[in-house]
A and B are shown apart, each in its own frame.
Chain A
């Protein structure tokens, strides 16, 4: 199963779970929960961190954290 890190800019996916048992609490509080739709908007000019759109706002996280979140790709409509 891909992680959020594997998504390219423009891709969308649904969070399905986490790689570790204990994902960072702040990510969850920001709403990155199972079932949440995520869009990778872009990567920073140096490739890291990435800019996500979730629940109507933009959140920036590092690839390191993105790799902890399992997603299922949502085909472009």
Chain B
């Protein structure tokens, strides 16, 4: 294999623990020339950019690895960092130099990872970050001494304000020499075994450098996930490791702890020798004093409640004007296109399929941006970890974790940002369960449906004269969804993800002032990810649904055609009679005739034309695929009390829940712009089956409401779940179990209600 002779680094990786300012440094090194992609096959983001500034290495690719505490990966994020550093990430060559970002206020634990990376033999530059915080805490860190002990360049920096950045760039001008093996040692009983296993591995896999073989041998000995891949690649080594483990266990050698004890045993005195303390370490820091309030027994939960209320308020109401504006913009754009394009199916496809599809994507943006702004603030200040700390006990009972609180509460506004927010969960099992139950929280898109049916069918009286039935019904729907989310989480924990017990070992990082720039850019990044990834799917499905509602096209109805002609004829006749009465010609009457009479005639004509258009739309949807499927599935939906129109409405609502309102409006031919809710409400109440029974009874309405609480009527949620879990399996399971809940509970409500004689 040709040996690379370049000394100017082409690829630089940033590695380090979480919360050490790695991303701040990354932004500083790369400026705005960044791109975010995904690592192949996983949902972990790959952030990369080009080294900015001027120097020999300018333009080198800089990759911001996910934060990790060790090279013994416990989570997906850590696995990615590990795979990249050891060169096992497909399509990702080993970096030429690794910048280890360490927190100067927390050297011992941060250097643990550094010693592991040094063991790999990769060229390393240590960026000693947060020198300002260290100084404030009374810590004096001897960077040169540290460089000397570690045998690699150490550059003190303050990533927040850019101090030390130039020195770091200079240190990256050329690839430093690969470091010597750090001086930590394993306990002799284990060291001897590791050496023997390393020799065996070198025999079996000759292209592995000796130092790397030792690293791999130690990993395989102490970690099952790291041992597993050798079963195929080096079966002899695999068997030898199992044998060695058994022998060590026999002799009661604590070999799984040997690595940690060896590294920390070496680091403890090393750190003592390079750090001088000017303050009593037991003295409470500012961060400790803030914590005394924010995680206080009484004040903590109250303040957290306040923070949530604020976020809720923001996502629910501050986003509304922007969402209304987007919707209005989409309508305007549609009208504009209608005005310039010739009538026909292409125009319909563009307006009702494509433009509506784009609208369906963009309308979620205000909520997503706001939510991610607040989440970013919480992460950046360190408060996010405290919310998990406060809520963990409560959430654990339900099979979730403290970190699930924020994603679940966000889902009351919209499941999409909620599911995206679940990324903050480090534990993969907890993250999946959170994603799976988030759509059961009643989101804002269910509100129009709730409102329509509650207003139409729940009596307006009040319980004990104060609690309105309608309000109670609304609250009951929210409670129903929430309770079911917890039940579902418990079921998933107990039966689906069993055995894989979640651990809760979480750092509570010191509070820091947020960097608004960084919060802002992260918000933009996440919004972009939503628009690009989920947007494609939502857009595509919108067009499919448009197609299903528009084809096959209904033949023109001669009766409706006749009514339209009749209206035109009546209008012309009225104009003629006005003209005759005023002594004007037919052409003059419009401009010079009596305004009131002409307008009245025109309004009458318009009313008939609108009614005809509404009926044509109704005819169209009855004829369409959706209408036909609605009729085809009616027998299945009938036990829930739903006729074919409701069934078709439910189908169309798959685009987004609130669509059922406009579909029903079309089906009942009430048109969309003439005071729709009231008209539709009356139309629903008046609808009868051929035998004279009403289609909608209060029982049917309750059944439909229950259906909407549970059913996953939202392709956007499926799209984002696909993106966040990287497989269609979980979205499919999600849709199925929620549909089963919806069908089961609606059946129970309708059949039970009828049996009790409430039908």
Q: Can you list 17 contacts pairing A with B, beta carbon distance less than 8 Å?
A: A21-B254, A25-B256, A26-B69, A29-B260, A31-B112, A31-B260, A33-B257, A34-B261, A44-B389, A45-B390, A46-B394, A49-B392, A49-B393, A49-B504, A55-B106, A59-B506, A65-B503
Residues of A within 8 A of B300 (CB): 45
Kindly state the separation between the CA atoms of A21 and B245 in the bound complex, as whole angstroms: 13
Residues of B within 8 A of A36 (CB): 264
Residues of A within 8 A of B260 (CB): 25, 28-29, 31, 33
**Cβ-based interface call for A61 (8 A):** yes
**Which residue of the partner chain, among A46, A48, A60, contacts B508 with CB atoms under 8 Å?**
A60
| B385→A60 contact, CB < 8 A | yes
Residues of B within 8 A of A2 (CB): none
**Cβ-based interface call for A75 (8 A):** no
Minimum Cβ distance to chain B for residue A38 (Å):
13
Kindly state the separation between the CA atoms of A25 and B503 in the bound complex, as whole angstroms: 11
Binding site for B on A (CB under 8 A): 21-31, 33-34, 36, 39, 41-42, 44-49, 51, 55-62, 65
| A27→B106 contact, CB < 8 A | no
Residues of A within 8 A of B288 (CB): 41
Partner-contacting stretch, out of B291-299, B441-449, B543-551, B613-621 = B291-299
- Given contact pairs A31-B108, A44-B390, A51-B389, A56 touches B256 in the complex (Cβ within 8 A): no
Kindly state the separation between the CA atoms of A57 and B287 in the bound complex, as whole angstroms: 11
Residues of B within 8 A of A29 (CB): 69-70, 72, 112, 260
Residues of B within 8 A of A22 (CB): 256
**Cβ-based interface call for B105 (8 A):** yes
| B503→A26 contact, CB < 8 A | yes
The 5 closest A-B pairs by CB, nearest first: A58-B508, A46-B393, A28-B260, A48-B393, A29-B70
Binding site for A on B (CB under 8 A): 69-70, 72, 74, 105-106, 108-109, 112, 222-223, 249, 254, 256-257, 260-261, 264, 281-282, 288, 291-292, 295-298, 300-301, 385, 388-390, 392-394, 396, 402, 503-510
| B69→A61 contact, CB < 8 A | no
Chain B residue nearest to A28 (CB atoms) is B260
Residues of A within 8 A of B296 (CB): 45
| B106→A61 contact, CB < 8 A | no
| A59→B508 contact, CB < 8 A | yes
| A57→B507 contact, CB < 8 A | yes
- Given contact pairs A33-B260, A33-B261, A49-B389, A25 touches B72 in the complex (Cβ within 8 A): yes
| A61→B504 contact, CB < 8 A | yes
Kindly state the separation between the CA atoms of A28 and B291 in the bound complex, as whole angstroms: 25
Minimum Cβ distance to chain A for residue B428 (Å):
14
| B393→A51 contact, CB < 8 A | no
Minimum Cβ distance to chain B for residue A45 (Å):
5
- Counting chain A CB atoms within 10 Å of each CB, the highest count among B72, B223, B260, B261 belongs to B260
Kindly state the separation between the CA atoms of A20 and B156 in the bound complex, as whole angstroms: 41
18 additional A-B pairs beyond A22-B256, A26-B503, A57-B106, beta carbons within 8 Å, are A26-B69, A27-B505, A30-B69, A30-B109, A30-B507, A33-B257, A36-B264, A41-B291, A44-B393, A45-B295, A45-B390, A46-B390, A47-B393, A51-B389, A57-B109, A58-B510, A59-B507, A59-B508
Residues of A within 8 A of B69 (CB): 26, 29-30
Chain B residue nearest to A55 (CB atoms) is B108
Chain A residue nearest to B385 (CB atoms) is A60
- Given contact pairs A25-B72, A45-B301, A65-B505, A60 touches B109 in the complex (Cβ within 8 A): no
Minimum Cβ distance to chain A for residue B648 (Å):
48
Kindly state the separation between the CA atoms of A73 and B621 in the bound complex, as whole angstroms: 76
Kindly state the separation between the CA atoms of A73 and B420 in the bound complex, as whole angstroms: 44
Residues of A within 8 A of B392 (CB): 44, 46, 48-49, 62
Minimum Cβ distance to chain A for residue B470 (Å):
35
Minimum Cβ distance to chain A for residue B738 (Å):
30
| B109→A45 contact, CB < 8 A | no
Minimum Cβ distance to chain B for residue A47 (Å):
7
Kindly state the separation between the CA atoms of A51 and B508 in the bound complex, as whole angstroms: 8
Kindly state the separation between the CA atoms of A59 and B389 in the bound complex, as whole angstroms: 10
Residues of B within 8 A of A30 (CB): 69, 109, 505, 507
Minimum Cβ distance to chain B for residue A13 (Å):
14
Residues of B within 8 A of A21 (CB): 249, 254
Chain B residue nearest to A27 (CB atoms) is B505
Residues of A within 8 A of B106 (CB): 55-57
Kindly state the separation between the CA atoms of A23 and B504 in the bound complex, as whole angstroms: 14
Chain B residue nearest to A12 (CB atoms) is B282
Chain B residue nearest to A51 (CB atoms) is B508
Kindly state the separation between the CA atoms of A55 and B385 in the bound complex, as whole angstroms: 19
Kindly state the separation between the CA atoms of A56 and B279 in the bound complex, as whole angstroms: 13
| B504→A31 contact, CB < 8 A | no
- Given contact pairs A25-B256, A59-B507, A45 touches B261 in the complex (Cβ within 8 A): no
Kindly state the separation between the CA atoms of A31 and B300 in the bound complex, as whole angstroms: 28
Kindly state the separation between the CA atoms of A34 and B187 in the bound complex, as whole angstroms: 14
Residues of B within 8 A of A23 (CB): 257
Chain B residue nearest to A39 (CB atoms) is B282
Chain A residue nearest to B74 (CB atoms) is A26
Residues of B within 8 A of A51 (CB): 291, 295, 389, 508
Residues of B within 8 A of A49 (CB): 389, 392-393, 402, 504, 506
Kindly state the separation between the CA atoms of A56 and B109 in the bound complex, as whole angstroms: 9
Residues of B within 8 A of A25 (CB): 72, 74, 222-223, 256, 260
Kindly state the separation between the CA atoms of A57 and B139 in the bound complex, as whole angstroms: 14
Chain B residue nearest to A46 (CB atoms) is B393
Kindly state the separation between the CA atoms of A29 and B223 in the bound complex, as whole angstroms: 13
